[in-house]
A and B are shown apart, each in its own frame.
Chain A
Amino acid sequence: MTQTAERPDTPPSAPARSRLVVVGNGMSGARALEEILARGGGDTFAITVFGEEPYGNYNRILLSEVLANAAGEAVDNEDADDEIYLNPLDWYDENGITLHAGVRIVRIDRPSKVVYGDDGSVTPYDTLVLATGSRSFFPPMEGMWASTTRLTPGVFGFRSLDDATGMLEHVREHRTAVVIGGGLLGLEAAAGLQAHGVAVHVVHPTEVLMNQQLEAEASKVLRSKLQDMGMHMHLGVKTSEILVEDGRVAGVRFTDGSDLACDMVVVTAGIRPNIGLAMVSGLETQRAIVVDDTMRSVDDDDIYVVGECAQHRGEVYGVVGPLWEQAAVLADVVTGTNPDARYHGSRLATKLKVAGVDVAQMGVKIPERSSDEFVQFSETGRGVYQTVVIRDGTLIGATLVGDVSKVAALTQAFDSRSALPEERVKLLFDLGSADDGAAAADLPDDTQICNCNGVSKGDLVGCVEDGAESVSACMAATRAGKGCGSCKGLVKEVVEAALGGAGREDPADSYYVPGIPMDKPTLMREIRSRGLTSVSAVFEALAPEGRDHVGSKMGLTALLRMMWPHEFVDERDGRFINDRVHANIQRDGTFSVVPRMSGGVTSPDQLRRIADVAEKHEIPMVKLTGGQRIDLLGVPKEKLQEVWADLDMPSGWAYGKSFRTVKTCVGTDFCRFGLGDSTQLGIDIEETYKGIEGPAKMKLAVSGCPRNCAESMVKDVGLVAVEGGSWQIYVGGAAGATIRKGDILATVDSHEEALRITGRFLQYYRENANWLERTYDFVPRMGLEYLQAVIVDDSEGIAADLDARMQEAVDAYVDPWASDQTERTPGQFHDALPLVPLPQVPVR
């Protein structure tokens, strides 16, 4: 260090920056870096990071989701593996950080201030940050290890991306898994594996699952929920040995001597902080590396410690909330921004991330002093159990099982130690006039909203002030709500309050499309009275300043096509790409082709033609769909017309917000139980209403008896033959992203009547549902009795009009594959990605 009293004449060459080295590139190491950069540390430090894992920095929390999600069809446009990387590799470059991924630090030479890597590197530091995290703990047990460093094939820990991908690989060919340890991690692993159709056994040494978080009563409710999901529980049992045959897992043996066959074992029996490096380098370690309130090792002022490898005032944390607080203090001190910053420990909140099993817990699980208040609610029939613990008027603990609708408000009260309602039960229930909306607006700006990603109310409000217009935009920009997801409700409240003013409802919620400030009935009235027949005319007449709006075009196109079956002016730029080329766009820009196969019935001739087309055009995958027909996947856009022509079959409309399929069963023709000709009725319904467009997809089914083989009770419209030649018509059922059993709209006596009521219901739905509102939302919104009155009993005298308008739509139908054999617009079928080799989807 030179000391200069006077200003030098020439500017000095850039001063040598102090060297900051971070060991461990996990969640807390990277978070500490972000905090340091946010305080201008990029200028003062030359930063080097070592991470043993060969990746950039990822969100470990999402591994549970990665495991579970890679299972079924993606139901949503967001998937987890996309979001798992917190900071991609270029982030390090952009911030001038040198990253050594895949390098493990083996020793610190504290007197010479260098670290040694397992690649032979020697790196000097001025300041060192240890963020080595934890690893899975494998209890000593016969059969666990194949060698001193390698687990027996089929045995897994659950800690890293490699663990998760290893398991995903393994489940493809294995059927039965034993999870050792029924804590949070174990249950998430179990649910993830089950999503892949693996039979899962959870072995836990006490009767209380998740015993770190839950007391016996809560655990019992959780247990029965998991058992209902089909998970097998072995509680109060210990594993003594992993049975190995031919070098791989064949089963487990319990301490009582009994055996359980399995081909996979996941060990989630706890974690152990990675402290070996600190130990060999002479730092004080107990359960973890001991630090003071500035997050510095108690032995060495130049070494800071953060995350799960730090032990502060006797506590070692295993969730990310505390790590964020530690990282902020560390950055304050290291950069000198606030040398007086001190970490005082954290309070814990956790959530189980298992779909359909809601568990949230914070603070203490049971009252600890005689003066503590304890509010307990249990409704075991519904699988709901909730408690709160209050001390001196503040919330010190809460447990929610089965119903976590109050978790946001409770977390808030817990974190901010805010005043509680006089009637304690209001903490768990909305009694009359609870005003949660106002609460979000009243929170102080520094209130932490998302504990997983450390996002405060101020961050979210700032996002809105910077122009974010939606909850999802704020979530994308701040990562709020993208960890365990338990704060999503509160994020929404905060953002909505910031967008629309305190407690006010956003009028935009009622708009049919966001770009035109009108609800659907008003919009339809205006369109009709002004005779607007094209999307551009609607924008011009009704949008603010006549501006068109990208997110509104599709909804308007659908509405106008419904309203003006003949007069509609077809502007192709108002359609989504799927509707421009009558096929479903895929992840690599190719398309899928699904021909109509009414009622799921096909013929040798059709099958032969499909086979010929698949061969001739080298279709990468031919697949039976969940809608009882055949999908040709991976067709380049330029080839679509040719494929349609060669198929010589009509479009199945698998791409549109439209009438899709009618699934059927074999019914009276072949089935020994059949009560009605479900196959024929299904074909008739599909041939009649094929391709009719609407506010969202319409999927139907017809079953020949209440055994319901065509899954009619969970379709938008589902028909079931019952004794006596009648048909029950179910509406509003769903088994997609939402599961809902349909309601019986009517029971009718003939095919003709079944066709008519189906059409009338669909027409009423087309005219009255909001854009993208499926029947599973529409039916409960309108109310079954109301729908029965209007559609079956004609209480409003509109039945004949509905039938007539549906008939008009049916009459106006043309098959798009036939009619678009000549291009409608220049380059309609030109490739939109000229250089990219196709297809990129895996070819089987």
Chain B
Amino acid sequence: MSSVDVVEGRLGPVDQIPVGEGRAFLVGDEPVAVFRPRSGGLHALRAICPHRGGPLADGLVDGEVVMCPLHNHQFSLVDGSCATGTDDVAAYSAAEEDGELVVRLRHT
């Protein structure tokens, strides 16, 4: 087994993300959108919509999906899967550790 490098981003306080919204961060070279739905939890997806490059961090969010602001494709917050007919987006792990937002670039 080869060892897997997990790129990790320690991104500072979770409060940077208003409840119910998303914000974009760079983790290594990867643009990542982190969402904080009102129903709880933290979710991270690649920040660029696979459809036409829309900014997912600007999308509306509910407990399950984010909706890209450009053409309304929806992506599962949990695994990035798209049920509206475009490609899936990569999903990463996001958690709060000691009050800090930590994102790991390992596909969940």
Contacts and interface: CB of A to CB of B under 8 A. Distances in A.
Interface of A: 77-78, 82, 467-468, 472-473, 476-477, 536, 547-551, 553-554, 571-574, 576-578, 580, 585, 587-589, 825-827, 830-836, 840
B24 A833 contact: yes
A77 B71 contact: yes
B106 to A, nearest CB: 20
Contacts of A834: 24-26, 31, 47
A589 B54 contact: yes
B66 A550 contact: yes
Contacts of B99: none
B103 interface: no
Contacts of A554: 60
A826 B15 contact: yes
A833 B31 contact: yes
Given A573-B21, A577-B58, A588-B53, A832 B16 contact: no
B65 interface: yes
A476 B85 CA distance: 5
21 contacts: A78-B71, A468-B83, A473-B85, A476-B85, A476-B86, A550-B61, A571-B20, A572-B18, A573-B21, A573-B61, A577-B59, A587-B70, A826-B15, A832-B33, A832-B55, A833-B31, A834-B31, A834-B47, A835-B29, A836-B53, A840-B53
Contacts of B107: none
B10 interface: no
Interface in B40-99: 47-48, 52-67, 69-72, 74, 83-86
Contacts, number: 113
Contacts of B55: 585, 589, 832-833
Given A550-B60, A833-B57, 6 more contacts: A549-B62, A553-B62, A580-B58, A827-B23, A833-B31, A833-B48
A557 to B, nearest CB: 10
Given A78-B71, A577-B69, A832 B58 contact: yes
A833 B31 CA distance: 7
Main secondary structure of the interface of B (DSSP, over half): loop
Nearest to B19: A573
A832 B66 contact: no
Contacts of B21: 572-573, 825
Contacts of B67: 550-551
Contact of B52 (A548, A573, A587): A587
A477 B84 CA distance: 8
Contacts of B83: 467-468, 473
Interface string B4-21: 000000000001111111
Contacts of A835: 26, 29, 31
A827 B55 CA distance: 15
Contacts of B2: none
A589 B47 CA distance: 12
Nearest to B74: A550
A472 B66 CA distance: 18
A833 B47 CA distance: 6
Main secondary structure of the interface of A (DSSP, over half): loop
Nearest 5 CB-CB pairings of A with B: A476-B85, A573-B20, A832-B55, A832-B57, A825-B18
Contact of B23 (A553, A572, A830): A830
A633 to B, nearest CB: 16
Contacts of A467: 83
A473 B60 CA distance: 19
Nearest to B26: A834
A73 to B, nearest CB: 16
B47 A548 contact: no
A351 B83 CA distance: 31
Nearest to A479: B85
A286 B69 CA distance: 54
Given A833-B47, A834-B24, A573 B58 contact: no
Q: Which has the most chain A C-beta neighbours within 10 Å: B39, B60, B74, B84?
A: B60
A689 to B, nearest CB: 27
Contacts of A536: 20, 38
B85 to A, nearest CB: 3
Nearest to A590: B55
B17 A827 contact: yes
A192 B60 CA distance: 37
A468 B61 CA distance: 20
A58 to B, nearest CB: 17
A472 B58 CA distance: 23
A654 to B, nearest CB: 16
A745 B76 CA distance: 47
A836 B33 CA distance: 13
Q: Which has the most chain B C-beta neighbours within 10 Å: A547, A578, A831?
A: A831
Contacts of A827: 16-18, 23
A468 B83 CA distance: 8
A832 B47 contact: yes
Q: Which has the most chain B C-beta neighbours within 10 Å: A554, A585, A827?
A: A827
A585 B58 contact: yes
Contacts of A588: 53
Contact of A836 (B29, B31, B86): B31
Contact of B62 (A472, A547, A578, A585): A547
B63 A832 contact: no
B95 to A, nearest CB: 19
A827 B33 CA distance: 13
B62 to A, nearest CB: 4
Contacts of B74: 550
A291 B78 CA distance: 52
Nearest to B59: A577
Contacts of A840: 53
Contacts of B20: 536, 571-574
A467 B59 CA distance: 23
Contacts of A550: 60-62, 64-67, 74
Nearest to B67: A550
